[in-house]
Amino acid sequence: MLPSTLKGPGWRGRGQDHAADVRDGAYWTPYAVRSEVGPLRAVLLAWPGDELAFDGEPADWLMSARPDLARMREEAEAIAAFYRSVGAAVHWIRPRAAAPPNLVFARDLFAMTPEGAVLGRMAAEQRAGEPRLAAVALAEAGVPILATPRGEAQLEGADVLWLRPDLVLVGLGNRTNEAGLATMGRVLADQGVRCVGATLPPSVQHLLGSLNLLDRDLAVAYDATPSIRAVCAEAGIRLLDFVDVPEVTRGRALNFVTVAPRELVMPAGCARTRARLEAEGVRCHELRVDEYIRAEGGLGCLTGILSREG
């Protein structure tokens, strides 16, 4: 008689695939993303650590000014409290050892799918160690890691947007290259999702800086290229174009997080942008993120999206 380990008595074979394993929550946390606007259910934030009290010039760490660490921690606590108030679980990246200061921008470090996460591979040398720290937090949150970019691939999560449940747009520019797009495309093809690339304008860091969704058929755009516009038109998404006003560029007004269809949280102090969004029927919440802006990011940049409904 065969031993149990060789499919003898006592052996139990797997009765479902990985996608079902994630959905039913038996082995993984049932977190999934297939939309940018479905009700927000879980996020990953990075706690501002002592590494933000770095030596040297802010530009050496890709920042325009040195953040005030105490104030950034106050902002982080308020952001987490807001997400909990709308029904989203909050997970933290809290490294046990020294970390790069830009770790606070968790959106860049991974891209989520219906079956798990794809890690980023950062374009800047200063940020090269961050995805490993995100991987630890993802594992602790029960999220499977489906791929790690290799070779010359560069991939950052803020360059990946779900336009439809079967269509993902990846921005190609300063942070993500064709090899990174190929990595994302292979993972999504296995899930029946089409992944397309679009060239970004040199004026933005990520796709999120040029496009952000408000609803399934509505998005804001800033300096969007013809290739971005073409993919949005194919997906039936109308674009609200914003001009270069100070609160868009300096205040990161469009670097918001949609928490439900036509409901978002945005940086405080962007009255003109808020008025235009509200004229479109969008409900707007505001939070202070001044210290994150000093570090060259905003609400969208600091919020890693782990799960949405729909």
Interval 124-143: pLDDT, tens: 999 999 999 999 999 999 99
Domain CATH for 113:
3.75.10.10
Looking at residue 97, what is its pLDDT? 83
What is the domain extent for residue 107? 30-308
Q: What percent of the chain has pLDDT over 90?
A: 91
Is pLDDT above 90 for 15? no
Q: Residue 310: its pLDDT value, please?
A: 85
Residue 278 has pLDDT above 80, yes or no: yes
Whether residue 160 is contained in a domain is answered as: yes
Mean pLDDT of the chain, nearest integer: 96
Q: Which pTM was predicted?
A: 0.96
Q: Taking every pair of C-alpha atoms in the chain, what is the biggest distance, in angstroms? A: 77
Rounded CA-CA distance 45/81 in Å is 12
By three-state DSSP, how is residue 267 classified? strand
State the DSSP string of 113-179: ETTEEEE-B-SSGGGTTHHHHHHHHHHHTT--EEE---TT--B-GGGEEEEETTEEEEEESSS--HH
Q: Measure the CA–CA gap between 287 and 292, rounded to whole angstroms.
A: 11
Q: Give the helix ranges, DSSP H, for the chain.
A: 18-24, 69-85, 130-140, 178-189, 226-234, 246-249, 271-279, 290-294, 299-302
Say if 3 falls within a structural domain: no
- What pLDDT digit, counting tens, does each position of 149-168 carry? 999 999 999 999 999 999 99
φ, ψ of residue 150 to 5 degrees: the values are: -135, 180
Sort strands 194-199 and 167-172 into parallel, antiparallel or unpaired.
parallel
> Does 42 or 56 have the greater pLDDT score?
42
Using alpha carbons, select from 214, 227, 306, 238 the residue that is nearest to residue 29: 306
The tokens describing 300, both together, are 């969208």
How do residues 83-124 score in pLDDT, each as one tens digit? 999 999 999 999 988 899 999 999 999 999 999 999 999 999
| Residue 203 within a domain | yes
pLDDT at res. 303: 98
Domain count, the chain: 1
Distances (CA, A) of 251 to 71, 109, 111, 231: 17, 23, 25, 27
Angle at alpha carbon of residue 140, lines to 86 and 287, rounded to 5°: 30
Domain for residue 21, yes or no? no
Q: With respect to residue 168, please indicate whether it lies within any of the assigned structural domains.
A: yes
- Tell me if 92 is assigned to some domain: yes
Q: Is 249 helix (H, G, I), strand (E, B) or coil?
A: helix
Q: What angle do CA 261, 142, 90 make, to 5 degrees?
A: 45
Cα Rg of the chain (Å, integer): 20
185-201, pLDDT tens digit by residue? 999 999 999 999 999 99
pLDDT surpassing 80 at residue 244:
no
Residue 150 lies in a domain: yes
Residue 93 lies in a domain: yes
